[in-house]
Every structure is written in C-alpha cells, then in structure tokens.
Structure 1
Amino acid sequence: MTTTTSVYHAGSRAVQDRVGVRGAADHVGRSVGQGIKPVAAAFLQLQPLLVVGAAAPETGRVWVTPLTGDPGFVRATGPREMSLAGTPRPGDPLAHALASEGTRVGTIALDPRTRRRMRLNGRSRPTPGGFAVEADRVFSNCPKYLQKRESWETVTDRVPGPARHTRRLTDAQRAFIESADTFFVATVHKDGAEVSHRGGNPGFVRTVSPAELTWPDYPGNAMFLTLGNLTADPRAGLLFLDWTTGTTLQLTGEAHTDFAPDGERRVRFAVTEAVHTERALPLRWSAPAYSPANPTPPG
C-alpha cells in the first residue's frame, strides 16, 4: 500500500513545509498507487510518445529521452508492468541505461489532444525489442500549463540528423529554448527517478548565458517531487522538442531553486552537456492553444 510517507521523502517535505502546503500534499499523495488501473492502461495504449528519464550508469548524469511509435507501442502488460516496443536511438544518452536490468526510471505519457498526463516510475528491465518498467508509483497530474494540440501525424519520410554534442548552448539553441511552450525535466533521489512536465507561454524559459537557463516554478499540485529531489541531489536533465519538426534538445546538468521573499520560486539550471538532434522524432503535431492557466512572462 502506498502512503504519503512513502510518496514523499525529506526533500519534498522540506519544500512543502517551506511553502506551507503539507496538508494539500498529503491529500494529493493519496492518489498515488502502484497499480495501473484500467483507465490508465487504456490511456497508455493510445499514446505515440513516452518521455523517460534516468541517470546514465556510465557517467551518473541525468538525461531525458523521448520514445515514439504507433499507438500501442507502450502498453500495460500486467497490474504493475508497462512495456515498450522500441528503444532509444543508438548513441542516445540513455540507450545503455534502458538496456540494463534494474535502472530506476521515471516516465510521463502526455496527450496534448486531451491535456491529460500520466506518470509511472519504477525499475526497468530489457525485453526482446524494447524494455519494461515494473511500477513503484503511478499517478496522474492535472492539465494545468499543458498546451492543447488537436492532432498529430507520423511523417514517414523524416530522416533524423546526427546528434550534435556541445558543452555550451549555441545562439540557435538559446533561441529554440526561449521559443518553447513545453519542456520535460528529470530528477533523481536515492529510491528512484521522476519526470515532470513544465509549460507556459513562449518566453517562460530564459537563457541567462550559454551555460545557464532559468524558469519560474508556477503553482502546481503541492507535491513538490521535482523541487524536493533537487534539494537532495541537484542533478537534472531537460528535454525540449519542436512539436512540428521533431527536433530535440537534451540537456544535462545541475539545478537549484531560488525562493524569493514574495513567494516566487525560480529554478536555475547549469548546463554540463547538450545533445541537439534535428528531426529526431517522426511526429508532427498541430499548432498549440495555450493553457488559460499560463501566466504572461515578463517582458
């Protein structure tokens, strides 16, 4: 049985207490389970995209990678098991991790058409043609800050470009980040990994320099799983993607949270390495309708 004690570690509790939302967090935490309910299984089977985060065993760096396929490529194959038909591209920062037994992973399935998202965390194991995750925690998030995209299609003749590795952000990459309305962030703790979604109007993420970017931590569900992890372990990974061209930008580094006296929270992320791949994903989504919850970024 999952309890709020097992859902939250000391890092999350410290942030909840600092913000004054422990009671709300306990209420939300009761929705976290270990099993994949029928409604969640049906949701998974409709998705063409799953985002996975973990620490690479070779370097210890945290990365996020997107996996795609025809609906049904990710599905529930047991009361506590999710299976994927497919693996990351060769050379992906998480290719080895997801081919290894027992890697602690966080995953998120996000459907812009319905503005629904589901998170499943656990341990991976390789399978013929893919991998499976035995679930430790399964839960859904509210649609706040999630942009609506009505439809998607698979571009069958799209050919991925080579993965370009850099230590700093180029001007083009900085512009790419600052035009984003969505990104994914992976964090880790001693018992697992988390992948979360961050959304806002374009401009909500700012690049301070070629080595640092920052974003506001908008009010959410009071769980503070991501910020809680960062209080104990600053390692993090980010994924930005172009929903039209399929281009991806994967970043790894360290993140810290600044708490302002007025209650505003801002996360600062220092870049250790970037992997930029043109046309990495075959999916092309329709234009977004921005979430009505998005604050307007300061000019």
Structure 2
Amino acid sequence: METLPWHRGEIALQQAVGSAARMAEIGPRVIRDRLIEQHALFYPLLPFVVLGAVDRTGAPWATLRAGPPGFLHVPDPLHLAIATQPEPDDPAEAGLHDGAPVGLLGIELETRRRNRLNGTVERRGEGGLRIAVEQSFGNCPRYISPRPAAFSDAARSAPAPTVSDRLDAGARALLAATDTLFVASYAEASGHRQVDVSHRGGPAGFVRIADDSTFTVPDYAGNRFFNTLGNLLANPRAGIAVPDFSTGDLLQVTGRTELVLDSPEIATFEGAERLWRLIPERVVFRPRALPLRFGETDSD
C-alpha cells in the first residue's frame, strides 16, 4: 500500500473542499523523494533560494540566501547543495544546523517557475549546506509577479538589524505595498518534523495590517495541496520574509497564526477563498541584507 505524502492538517483541509480523493491519487505521483532531472537542472540557474527553518524555541523563520548562479547544485538526485556562509544576523540561522529539518523554495521570478523541497540538513560545513531530500515537487506559477533578479557581488555594508515585537512604520509600509512574501511553517507527523516554505503573492497591497500589527493574508485558488494551511491547522505558527526589491532590505516576522475558513470577511478580499492571520511575536528588519538586484515588475 502506497503511503500518502500528506499529514493530518493537509488531509483535513482537502476533505473540507472535497479534494481528498483526488489528492490521494495525485500526491504519490507528483511528490517525490528525489530530485528529477528537470529540477536538478533548474536550481543551478538561480541567484537566490528561499529557506524555511525552525529555531530552538520552535519559532519558524523564512529567509533568502543568494549567490552567483551555480551556488545551488545537485551532486546526486537525493541531495541539494548550497554554497552559503553562516549569517549571524539572520534569525533563521539557528535552524540550519546539521540534522535540522528545513524547507526550500527555488523560484525564478522572471519566468515564474518554482519548485519546492523539504528535507534535512545532512551536513553544515565550510562549503555551506547539504540537504537530504525528503519531498520534492513543482508548483504552479500563479500569483508570482514576474521580475528579473540577479546576484550582486558589489561590496556592501549592512547595518545591524532592528528587532522588535511589533511592526514599526517602515515594516508596515513595506508589508502594505508588497506583492510578494514567503511563508515558513511546519508540522509534526509520526514523530518527524516537516518544514515547508512557500510563496504568497497578489496585487500590491494584498496584505492588510491591523493597528495591533496583526496582518491578514488572502488564500487564493491553488493546487489544493494545502501544504502551508495544513501546517497552520496542525501547528498555528508561521514565519514570513518580505524582500524590498528596490533596496535589498529584508523583513522577517515570526508569530502565531489563525485560519479564517468561513467568514464574511473573506469576500472583502477579491478572489480569496479563505484567509490566514499572523500575530507577530518577533520582528527582525535587516537593512541591505540581500546581495541581489531586482528589475521592475513585468505587468504582463
């Protein structure tokens, strides 16, 4: 009997929308325990990758790591290697040690291609990270705002990060204007922690922020895997990363979440099928954290 790649949170939401039977059929076919050739060829093209990690307090964090194309490579179908140095100012760093479960998203914004992977850090050494693959699968390109991205090796001096328990004016402005964020989440299944990181996008301003710093994110129609929302149903914690595409700044937030599955509020977000909220517990703003240059959004 084939083992389903879904945990109880994902299955519960699949059942709620009537897609559980189809996902039981599709899941084992599209979610693999290795990297297929198409994905192995894709990762070395990228100038950055998104990571999801969990620190020692159980807080999930999303982050970005960058390098010249080729800094990601696939030595064999069971592993992905990342040439990256430790970043002490990155709150996700504490969750990237040897043996840690991680989530990874390879995304090419310009072409809207993306692939997801989760696994375990098998080795953390001077050469960077080596991740043993547990699940690997493609994602549809919907809601990605196309824009070119390139690694920049220009010298940069990054100021010290600002740490708080709520959004300040700068963080609010960045979050309120963004069309792109990345969300890390995790769930425990059969004694094993599975970490996931994914993309969320929409028209600029698709995130709404309340006075108390709680913010609400719409969930649009998708592949109905419910990886992220299934995690939040099983374990209501999440971390987000929001890059500033004009400056290279990076906003990282971790906190508690709540799902809004049935409420008149959903209809106030055009096209949303459900909502989720993040109540910040720790906010880290890292000026000029990203050695990347992003082009203008392609409105087409």
What is the TM-score with the length of structure 1 in the denominator?
0.91
Deviations 1:234-269 (CA, angstroms, capped at 9, x unpaired):
111000001221110000001111112578311011
After superposition, where does 1:189-268 map in structure 2 within 5 Å? 189-190=187-188, 191=192, 192-260=194-262, 264-268=273-277
Whole-Å Cα distance in 2 between the matches of residues 37 and 120 of structure 1? Answer: 12
Report what 1:296 is aligned to. none
Does the CA-based 8 Å contact 1:201-1:290 persist in structure 2? no
C-alpha spacing 1:68/1:227, structure 2 compared with 1 (3 Å): same
Whole-Å Cα distance in 2 between the matches of residues 87 and 15 of structure 1? Answer: 38
Does the CA-based 8 Å contact 1:104-1:123 persist in structure 2? yes
Task: Look up the SS of the partner of 1:108 in the other structure.
Answer: strand
Report what 2:45 is aligned to. 46
Does the CA-based 8 Å contact 2:4-2:24 persist in structure 1? no
Report what 1:282 is aligned to. 291
Aligned pair partner of 2:62 in 49, 52, 64:
64
Whole-Å Cα distance in 1 between the matches of residues 295 and 100 of structure 2? Answer: 34
Ranges in structure 1 where 5+ consecutive residues have no aligned partner: 292-299
Give the deviation of 1:90 after TM superposition. Answer: 1.3
After superposition, where does 1:4-19 map in structure 2 within 5 Å? 5-19=3-17
Root-mean-square deviation (CA, aligned residues, Å) is 1.8
Deviations 1:142-187 (CA, angstroms, capped at 9, x unpaired):
1000111145352613322211101110122111101000000011
Whole-Å Cα distance in 1 between the matches of residues 292 and 241 of structure 2? Answer: 16
Does the CA-based 8 Å contact 2:85-2:126 persist in structure 1? no
Does the CA-based 8 Å contact 1:67-1:87 persist in structure 2? no
Report what 1:33 is aligned to. 32
C-alpha spacing 1:212/1:272, structure 2 compared with 1 (3 Å): same
Report what 2:270 is aligned to. none
Matched, 1:96 2:77: no
Task: Look up the SS of the partner of 1:268 in the other structure.
Answer: strand
C-alpha spacing 1:28/1:158, structure 2 compared with 1 (3 Å): farther
After superposition, where does 1:118-157 map in structure 2 within 5 Å? 118-124=115-121, 125-152=123-150, 154=152, 156-157=154-155
Task: Look up the SS of the partner of 2:4 in the other structure.
Answer: helix
Does the CA-based 8 Å contact 2:67-2:151 persist in structure 1? no
Does the CA-based 8 Å contact 1:88-1:94 persist in structure 2? no
Whole-Å Cα distance in 2 between the matches of residues 63 and 111 of structure 1? Answer: 21
Deviations 1:15-34 (CA, angstroms, capped at 9, x unpaired):
11112222342354221101
After superposition, where does 1:176-195 map in structure 2 within 5 Å? 176-190=174-188, 191=192, 192-195=194-197
Task: Look up the SS of the partner of 1:43 in the other structure.
Answer: helix
C-alpha spacing 1:285/1:24, structure 2 compared with 1 (3 Å): farther
Give the deviation of 1:139 after TM superposition. Answer: 0.6
Report what 2:111 is aligned to. 114
Give the deviation of 1:211 after TM superposition. Answer: 2.7
Whole-Å Cα distance in 2 between the matches of residues 240 and 290 of structure 1? Answer: 20
| % identical aligned pairs | 37
Whole-Å Cα distance in 1 between the matches of residues 131 and 249 of structure 2? Answer: 26
Give the deviation of 1:93 after TM superposition. Answer: 1.2
Aligned residue pairs total: 287
Ranges in structure 2 where 5+ consecutive residues have no aligned partner: 267-272
